A = this chain, B = another copy of it.
C-alpha cells in the first residue's frame, strides 16, 4: 500500500537539498542535492563583470528555482514513490536573505534595466556591507527607547532586513524606488510555489523586527531617512503573516511542472534552517535547548514567556512553534575555528600519522585530545576568532590563548579550542537561565555531532544530558514535517514531531568528576571573558591592522 509522503526542501548557502519523507513515521525515503550554479556572488556581478566591494554577498534567484526543477524530481526518483502520493511541500531557507521584487514577485534582477545593478539581487545572510546602516538603526532605537530593541539582545544585525533595505535606498535609490516588495528568500520561494505572498512569522520576527503585532513604525523609519518612512507600508506589509506549519495555498500549475509534484497540494509557510530543525530533533518543549553545530552554532529554545536575554539574537512569539516564545542565540565560530587550526597550525607529523591511520586530521587530533585529563594541557582559549555573537554581540573581538609552554603540543591546543566552544555554550546557557529561561537538556544537530570527544566535553562542561538528532538532513526533515502539518495529516507541529521527529536520547551524560574539573577551567574562561569583553585590547589590535609602517 502506498504511503503518504511530503517533500521538504532545505535551501542552504551553496545548494538546496530535497527530501521525501513518509508522513506516518518520518522515514526518509529519498533525497537529492543541487548546487547553486552561481553559488555566492561576492567578487563580481556575472551580468556585468563589475567588481563588488568587500563584505558583499549576493545570490541569483534563478538558482533557487533550479533546485525545485532538479533536486525535487531527483529526490522523488530516489525515493521510488509515486508523485501522486505526495500531499504537501515546505521549504526552509538561510536568513536573512531578502530580495527586491515587483508586485507580481518578479525579482528586480530579472528585469533588463536592472540586471547589471548589484542592489537588484538577493542579499545573502552573510552580506555584511550594511554595518553602517545597522549601527545607525541601533543608535536611533536606543535613543528612542524602541520597545523591540531588547527583544534582540539590545542590538540588531547588519545581516537583517532593515539594514540591508536601508543600504539599497542609500546606495541605489533607483532600485529602491522600483522595488515594490522587499521579501525574504523563504517567502519568495513559497510565493513561487503557491502563488501567495506571505510573511512567515519566523523570518518576520527574527529578521524583520516584527514584534507585538507590528513592524517598526513610520516615525522611526523616517528618522533614519525621510525617504525610508514608508518602507514598511509600501514594500513589506500587506501580505498575511503566516504561522509556521500553516497552509499558505496549493501548489500552482507552474510549480507542479517544475517539481513534478501534484498541482494543488499543500504549500506550508516558509521557515529558517536552524529553527525548522527543532521539531525534527524533537526539541520544542521549554527547557530543551537545540544546538545546531557546524561552522558556527545556532541555539534555539522555547519559553513560556518573553524574557530579555543578554546577547541573544532574538525572541519571537511563535517563532519556532506556535504558542511559545522562541529564542535564538549563536556562537559565531565553532567548527570553523577547528578547521582554521587544522589548516594552519598542525605540523607534518600529525598529517602523516592521520594518513597512516586512515582518518582525517580532526579525528586524529580529537583522539589524541580525548586521552587527556581535564586541565592537563594547562591552557584556556577565548573562542572569539570570528567574534562573539552571544552573549557579547561583538564581531570585532578576537581569539586568545593563555598557558602556552615549550611543552604545548597540537593536540593540547586543539582540545583547548574544543573546550572553549563548550564554555561559550555554557555562557549562553547561563545567560538564558539567569534571565528566567530554564535549560534542562541539550539536543544537538549538525555536522559536529559525530565527534564523540567534543560531545562528551559539552555534556561535562554544561552538566547537561545531550540527545542527538537521528537524521543527517535535519532542516529538510523539519520542513517536511511542516508540510505534513500544512497538509492536515498531523494536527500541529508537536504531533508531527512526536510521529516524525528523530532523536536518540541520552547519548552523552555528564560525568560529575570531569564536570567539577571543568568548573576550574571555566572559571578562568569567565575571568578572561570578562576582562576582554570590553574590546579595549582586541578592537585596538584590529585597528592596528590598517595602520601602515
Number of interface residues of A (CB under 8 A): 56
In the complex, which residue of chain B has the Cβ closest to the Cβ of A380? B541
CB of B375 within 8 A of CB of A344, answer no
Q: In the complex, are the beta carbons of A406 and B373 less than 8 A apart?
A: no
Q: Collect the chain B residues with CB atoms within 8 Å of residue A403's CB.
A: 398-400, 537-538, 541-542
Q: Which residues of B contact A178 (CB under 8 A)?
A: none
What residues of B have a CB within 8 angstroms of the CB of A516 in the complex? 549
Q: Is A336 an interface residue (CB 8 A)?
A: yes
Interface residues as binary, A355-398 with B (CB distance below 8 Å gives 1, 0 otherwise): 00000000000000000011111111000011000000000001
Q: Which residues of B contact A346 (CB under 8 A)?
A: 345, 347
**Is A1 interfacial (CB-CB < 8 Å)?**
no
Is A537 in contact with B545, judged by CB distance below 8 angstroms?
Answer: no
In this complex, the member of A347, A374, A521, A538 whose beta carbon has the largest number of chain B beta carbons within 10 angstroms is A347
Closest Cβ of chain B: how far from A518's Cβ, in Å?
A: 8
Min CB distance A174 to B, Å, is 36
Complex CA distance for A524 and B348, rounded to whole angstroms: 33
B344 touches A408 (CB 8 A): yes
**Shortest distance between the CB of A374 and any CB in chain B (Å):** 4
- Chain B residues, CB < 8 A from A400: 400-404
A517 at the interface (CB under 8 A from B): yes
Interface segment among A44-52, A448-456, A527-535: the answer is A527-535
Residues of B within 8 Å of A348, CB to CB, are 347-348, 351
Q: Could you tell me the distance between the alpha carbons of A344 and B380 in the complex, rounded to whole angstroms? A: 18
Q: Within the assembled complex, what's the spacing in Å between the Cα atoms of A251 and B121?
A: 91
Q: Does A410 make an interface contact (CB < 8 A)? A: yes
The answer to whether A513 has its CB under 8 Å from any CB of chain B is yes
**6 interchain residue pairs of minimum CB distance:** A517-B549, A399-B404, A375-B544, A374-B549, A400-B402, A403-B541
What are 28 contact pairs spanning A and B, CB under 8 A? Answer: A340-B408, A344-B409, A344-B410, A345-B345, A345-B347, A347-B347, A347-B351, A348-B351, A373-B548, A374-B549, A375-B544, A375-B547, A378-B541, A378-B544, A379-B541, A385-B404, A400-B400, A400-B401, A400-B403, A402-B532, A402-B538, A403-B541, A403-B542, A514-B549, A520-B540, A520-B547, A524-B541, A527-B537
